[in-house]
Amino acid sequence: MTTNSTAIGTMELGVLSYELLKAHDRNEIEKLIRVLSEDGLFFLNLSGPSAKDALADIPPLVRHQRQFFEQEPSTKSEYHNGLRYKGYYGTDFGVEKLHFGREEHLQGTLNIPSAFQPVASKLASTSAFMDSVLREIGILLTTSMNPPVPQALDHPEKPGLSNLTVAISKAKAGTILEPTHSDPGVLTMTFYDEPFLEVLDRKTRGWRVVEVKDNMPIINVGQELEKNSDDRLYAPVHQARHRENEIDLVMFDLFESPRTVPV
């Protein structure tokens, strides 16, 4: 799965501080609005006490997702259910994903593979942390805009399609892992260890690579938030391409709670 469109240069993303956003720092909030209106994505600096324990859970989680993905196809396929954002998904070009639905986590009905059992508590805490971070940022962002952006994020017990995804890529260099798209939800948070993300520059219409920066996760706007904001916020168009090294991802897609009345 390849494309003739190649990335030209790198995309320099803004960096925002989680601690400052939690403190409702006015300058940081204004920067958040500006960055997500113009570029649609940024690096989140998680240094500080609020994220210390959560960050420590990521490396062991990655080790155990590797153990899962190295199992026989027949074992992994037991967790394939054909539902979107649920269970295992594999490709014939080296990409594998495992989705953990937030709703199932909260209900205690999540089918956790044996490879993850030793880190089940870390899996749960990582899901809860990433969900909480994105809700905090989403609510802060939407309520700080003028006029405010309608959203359904203040009921974490009703997570809708929100899910934690762990993924690996062992594809050949140059392979397109995901074709051109923008994410469907409200916000997405991605921890990654190798550059893979190529973003379409809104000005030049060329592709630009987002490099790894101090192990900070990327946060980006999705289609739900772009729509709710009447296009004041931007869901960046992007694609994923395998470069030289294998890729490990831990990602959370935040969706709105189910609505009784549409926006």
Nearest of 161, 158, 222, 214 to residue 189 by alpha carbon: 222
**Banded pLDDT at 4 (limits 50, 70, 90):** very low
Task: Please identify which residue in the block is written with the tokens 């027949």.
Answer: 74
Is 212 a member of any domain? yes
Q: How many structural domains does the chain have?
A: 1
pLDDT, tens digit (0-9, with 9 covering 90-100), for 8-52: 789 999 999 999 999 999 999 999 999 999 999 999 999 999 999
The tens digit of pLDDT for each residue in 75-112 reads 999 999 888 889 999 999 999 999 999 999 999 999 99
Q: Is residue 38 part of a domain?
A: yes
Question: What percent of the chain lies above the pLDDT cut of 70?
Answer: 95
pLDDT, tens digit, 9 for 90 and up, residues 249-260: 999 999 998 854
Structure token digits, residue 90: 């594999």
Average pLDDT, the chain: 94
Is the pLDDT assigned to residue 262 strictly greater than 60?
A: no
CATH number at residue 233: 2.60.120.330
**Is 210 domain-assigned?**
yes
According to the model, what pLDDT value does residue 261 have? 42
**Residue 101, domain member (yes or no):** yes
Any domain includes 196: no
Domain of residue 59, residue span: 7-165+205-254
Poorest-confidence range of 12-16, 30-34, 159-163, 202-206? 202-206
C-alpha 123/C-alpha 262 separation (Å) is 33
Query: What are 65-69's contacts with CB under 8 Å, separation 24+?
Result: 65/98, 65/115, 65/116, 65/166, 65/167, 65/168, 65/248, 65/250, 66/168, 66/248, 67/115, 68/98, 68/113, 68/115, 68/116, 68/166, 69/96, 69/98, 69/168
